[in-house]
Copies of this chain bind each other. A is one copy, B any other.
Amino acid sequence: MTPNQLQHELKKKHPFESLEQEATLNIVRTNDQFQNRFGRLFREHGLTSSQYNVLRILRGEGRPMPCLDIAERMVQVVPAMTGLVDRLEKQGLVRRDRCTEDRRVIFIELTEKGAELLQRLDEPVMELHRTLVGHLSQAELKELSRLLEKCRQSVRSADCVRSAE
């Protein structure tokens, strides 16, 4: 057992002030390293992590979606979607389609080319998931997901408070 692996990784001289701080930093650092890996994989196929995310969401939904709905499922704010879709459209991976009933909304649709690219990525992505966390037991993975979901409950409740202000 390495009781202070994170402290060692960060070359921190002082121990963590609290378990809360240590856990939070562990989340951030793990995410950064994972994002790094996925980013590299996607880049080999001409995509970024965000772009891949958009394509995945569109495939999961199975039909064209408005910008706002896509942004809502990603954590990001709306304005970023414009440029994101611009580049995906330029690559021919999605198509913009203005809704006829409500001319304010613009549907984003996955193209055949986009679907094919996604499919080519399925196996490598699954493989990377296994590489990154496959050495944890099924029980550990379940526990990890449970703890992280519990973490997010605080954000949700805090957001409720904020939106009630």
A residues within 8 Å of B by Cβ?
2, 5-6, 9-14, 17-24, 26-37, 60-62, 73, 75, 126, 129-136, 138, 140-145, 147-155, 158
A126 touches B30 (CB 8 A): no
B126 touches A151 (CB 8 A): no
Instruction: Specify which of A62, A144, A154 lies most central, judged by the most chain B CB atoms within 10 Å of its CB.
Output: A144
Residues of B within 8 A of A132 (CB): 20, 24, 151, 154-155
Q: Is the interface of A mostly helix, strand, loop or mixed?
A: helix
A141's partner among B9, B14, B22, B136 (CB-CB below 8 A) is B22
B26 touches A148 (CB 8 A): yes
B60 touches A13 (CB 8 A): yes
